[in-house]
Every structure is written in structure tokens, then in C-alpha cells.
Structure 1
Amino acid sequence: MTNTDWANKDFYKVLGVAKDASQAEIKKAYRKLARANHPDSKPGDKAAEERFKAIAEAYDVLGDETKRKQYDEMRTLFAGGGFGPFAGGRPGGGTPFDSSDLFGGAGAGGGGFADVLGDLFGTGGRRARSRARRGADIETTATIGFTESVEGVTVSLRLAAESACQACRGTGAKAGTMPRVCPDCEGVGMRAASVGGAFQLNETCPTCRGRGMVVDDPCPVCNGSGRGVSDRTIQARIPAGVKDGQRIRLRGKGAPGEHGGQAGDLFVVVKVQPHPVFGRSGDNLTLTVPITFDEAALGADVKVPTLLGAPVTVKIPAGTPSGRTFRVRGRGAPRKDGTKGDLLVTVEVHVPPTLNDEARKAVEAYKAAVAGPDVRSGLFGS
């Protein structure tokens, strides 16, 4: 990102605070927005992830009093799309404004606007260097069993990741040759770019693409990029209670950084295989249990299984309708706070497909004994 891009960003608007907001107000606004848009709280939401990055970027500047002061000075100079009263000369005539006063030229004695940009964005004005670059984030998928999702499990993940090319040792140059210093940026990876008038800012050098070096005879293996692909296997811990589709973040397990930058993150999307008996609703496990007509009508104590423990007994009251759900507390999936959800047991009255003679006579006798008003009479009005 060029310095012009940074200068045109309104970090106050990103955090939703006034330009005269106190540091405490800025910190409070950042925490609120960060919680609302954190990738861990909104897995798979790309828009929220981008908002979170913008919020973190804004707080990195405004949350630091020194950086904030420098940023405010820079924004003042860029007000109105240019440099305000400094463009072309001093207000009301007089000695023309010398751009070297800002950019540390021959008459400035150093410490001008270039130093402000250098301190704020790490470019150092004309003394710019290739900046450390964070490695890219990587996303992969892990498929686990239903019981493993409740208990937690460690899985092995095989990843194809970027690394230094083995053939050229990361230089990008063919064996027996070496890269040379970029003639356009003199090895710093940045060059001056005009933004209007006499003013210039630094941007990534297009000749070397920020590397500071130019390869005349590129490595045939990596085509001069200096990067290769290697397979690696890592052990990833999937926490207990993980849900299907949940995104697990492993910091520093992504692609390696450049110029000493930190590695990116690895995001593991968890796919949970279904269970033949149990289901899940949030932190609760679900179970459907068949019961007989006499158990529903007369009541019964019914033994039901649990996923990770011994069976439990559920008391079915007399007159229980089909579809009623009973709650067995503490037999569900683990929560982040260490507690557990519940087991939700739904009963379904089982109707036998056939009846022997004795059973048919018993049902007919029951029918005669409970004969009364039509239970469906209310459906047709009065």
C-alpha cells in the first residue's frame, strides 16, 4: 500500500469517533468494533473479516498518541485533495513555499514530512528500505467424527506451503549467478511517485516489485520468484465442542513472511460427520427415542444412551404425547466456559405395523372403553 493510500484513509470514520476523541474513547470504540467483527465470532464472514482488518489498521495509528499526531499533520496537508494553502506559495504572496521544507531537501535540514511518513509507515522517506512482509493466511479443511467433535481431537494436516526455492536458495537467480541491485530504487524497494505539484511520496518500486534486487538470469525452477512449494505436516488441536463448519485459527502456521516478517495464520474449517443416533442443536445433543403406546398412556421409566457416559433413565409421565422433549442436564457438548449443554430426548410413540388376534381384541376393547366425542370435531367448526 502506498503512502497516498494511507493519507486518503479516514481512520476516525473507521472507528466511528470524532477527530477530537480522547484516547480512552478511541480504545473503547476499537474494542467494541473488534468484538463485533472478530473472525472467531463470525466464522466464514469475509465482510466481517475485512472490517476487522480495517478496524485494527485504524487503531494501530490512532491508538498511539505519537502516530496519531503525525497522522493528523499528514491529513491536514492532504486536506481538499492537495496540500491546501501550501500549494504554489504562501497565502497572500511572499516567499514561495519550498517543498524541501517538508521532504527534508537541501534547505530543510532533515526531519521534514518525509520523516513523518517514515515514522508513521516505516518507509523512512528517501532512506526507505524493503519492509518486512507478513506471510499469507492459509485455509484448509479437516473432517472429524461426531464424537471427536464433542471430545476434542488432534489431527494431522498435510499442507503445501511456500518456502525458499531450494535450487537458488531464495535468490531467484540461476545457479552460478547473483541478483543485482535495482537501478531504479537503488536497492531500497521503494521509489518516489508524484501526487501533484511539487510533492512526492514513496511507493513500491515497479521494477523490482519491492525486493530491491533485479534478476537478469532467473532460476528455471522458481522463474525468478525465489519461492518454492514444499509439503509439511502439522498437528492441529481441534477443541472439544467444535461445531460443524466452525473455523479454527492457528496463529503463525500459515505461509512464511518475507524480509523477516511474521508468518501468516492457518484457518482450519471443521467438517463434522453425522452420528447414527445423536444429533446436535447448538451446545445441546439431541436424541429421538421410540416408546410404546402403553408407555405413553400409562407412564414409564425409559433408559436412554448418552454419547460419552453411562445410560440415564428418563421418567415418562402418563399421558405423554408423541413428540414431547425431555431435558437431561449436563449431558451435551462442552462450552467455552467449561460447562456442558444438555441432552434433549424427544419421544415418538411407536405404532406396530401389524397386530395379532389377541392384541387386536385388546385395542378394540380399549376403543370401546374410551368411546366419546370425536377428537377432530373442532376442525370443522360448530
Structure 2
Amino acid sequence: EPDRVCDGCGGTGLRRTGRLCGKCERGVIKGLGSWRVQVPRGIASGQVLLAAGRGHPGSGRGARSGDLRITVDVEPVYTTEGLDRVVRVPAEESVLAHGGLLEVQPPVGEAVRIRIKPQTRPGQRIRLRGKAEAGRDLLVELQSIPDAPIPVDVVRI
């Protein structure tokens, strides 16, 4: 439930006697709400979206609610290059050297398993056709990370 004007004081925060409203003390009853907001494609961090009439209730009887301003913070997981989306995926050195499977989460849809060929170099990209938004291609850039250490109790001498 979103914030709403207090029905005890009509949004003024004061009773007719001039004292603070005991129900709200400021004219507004706090609430929580959630709304779907259309985020335009290609929006950048720091840009502001406006949800008209979704802000704080207006003060006084019949006053219009304010606008809710939403500052966008784009997740840096996926970047855009031309029409393609790019994701950097960590891959252990042994997988790059000897080959193996990696799981990649595209921006839309289910996770995808990709086969890494032996002798793959760090920074190499694999194109997944149609796996990004609106049928775009997803470029998976492989980033080399050290192999996880093998626990001592697993190593046989």
C-alpha cells in the first residue's frame, strides 16, 4: 500500500485544535508500494525515470500526489558493443588450457552451457546468437582466473 493522506487531519498534520495529529503527526500515513516501471532500452546509469503521481501524497484535501523520480543504476554485468551484448565470464586456467564446460547466464532466458575448446586464450570471445535481448547476440569474453586449490585431503601422494 503506498503512502496516503491521513484521514484524521486531511493531510495537514494538525488537528483543528492546532495540536499535532496523533494518527500521523505529519499529514501522511506511510506505506509500501511496488509498481512496474517501463525502462527504455539503452538507458544509462544516472538517468532519471519519472513515475507521475506515484510520489508522496499532496498536502491538503484533494491535492494531487507528487511524482516519483527513479535514478537508474545499470548493472555492469552486461555491456553493449554495437548491436551485441558482452558479458565477461571467469574461467579457470585449466579449463582454458584443456577445455571443458562453462555455464553462462544470458540477460534473458535460461542459463546456457558452452563448450570451451582446449588452448583457448584469455580474452577470447564466443558468440551466442540470439541469446541477448530482442534477438541480439551475446558475446562471452573469457577471463582467466587461477584454478581453485585442491584440498589436501583429496590429493593422493
2:51 counterpart residue number: 250
Alpha-carbon distance in structure 2 between the residues aligned to 1:264 and 1:163: 12
Listed as ranges, the matches of 1:339-378 within 5 Å are 339-340=135-136, 342-348=138-144
Letter aligned with residue 166 of structure 1: G
* Relative contact order, higher structure (CA 8 A, sep 6+): 2
Q: Does 1:306 align with 2:107?
A: no
1:321 counterpart residue number: 121
* Cα displacement (A) at 1:235: 2.0
Compare CA radii of gyration and give the structure with the larger one.
Answer: 1
1:163 counterpart residue number: 5
Alpha-carbon distance in structure 2 between the residues aligned to 1:311 and 1:246: 31
Structure (1 or 2) with the greater helix fraction: 1
Deviations 1:104-147 (A, max 9, x none): xxxxxxxxxxxxxxxxxxxxxxxxxxxxxxxxxxxxxxxxxxxx
Give the 3 Å change call, closer, same or farther, for CA 349–322 of structure 1 in structure 2. farther
Q: 1:322, 1:349 within 8 Å by CA — same for their partners in 2?
A: no
Letter aligned with residue 32 of structure 2: T
* Cα displacement (A) at 1:305: 1.1
Alpha-carbon distance in structure 2 between the residues aligned to 1:171 and 1:320: 68
Q: TM-score of the superposition, structure 2-length normalised?
A: 0.54
User: Which has the higher mean CA deviation after the structures are superposed, 263-272 or 345-354?
Assistant: 345-354
Q: The residue matched to 1:303 in structure 2 has which SS?
A: strand
Letter aligned with residue 304 of structure 1: L
Q: Does 1:268 align with 2:66?
A: no
Aligned residues: 136
Q: 2:14, 2:20 within 8 Å by CA — same for their partners in 1?
A: no
* Cα displacement (A) at 1:352: 9.1
Give the 3 Å change call, closer, same or farther, for CA 341–261 of structure 1 in structure 2. farther
Identity of aligned residues (%): 22
Alpha-carbon distance in structure 1 between the residues aligned to 2:32 and 2:68: 12
Give the 3 Å change call, closer, same or farther, for CA 256–324 of structure 1 in structure 2. same
1:230 counterpart residue number: 29
Alpha-carbon distance in structure 1 between the residues aligned to 2:31 and 2:147: 56
Give the 3 Å change call, closer, same or farther, for CA 315–353 of structure 1 in structure 2. closer
Letter aligned with residue 290 of structure 1: E
Cα RMSD (Å) of the superposition? 4.5
Listed as ranges, the matches of 1:1-382 within 5 Å are 161=3, 163-164=5-6, 166-167=8-9, 169=10, 174-175=15-16, 219-221=18-20, 228-237=27-36, 247-257=48-58, 260=62, 262-269=64-71, 279-282=77-80, 283-292=85-94, 296=97, 300=99, 302-307=100-105, 308-314=109-115, 316=117, 320-332=120-132, 334=133, 338-340=134-136, 342-348=138-144
Unaligned runs of 5+ in 2: 151-157
* Cα displacement (A) at 1:320: 4.0
Alpha-carbon distance in structure 1 between the residues aligned to 2:112 and 2:33: 37
Letter aligned with residue 19 of structure 2: P
Q: 1:325, 1:344 within 8 Å by CA — same for their partners in 2?
A: yes
Unaligned runs of 5+ in 1: 1-157, 176-217, 355-382
Q: The residue matched to 1:235 in structure 2 has which SS?
A: coil
Letter aligned with residue 122 of structure 2: S
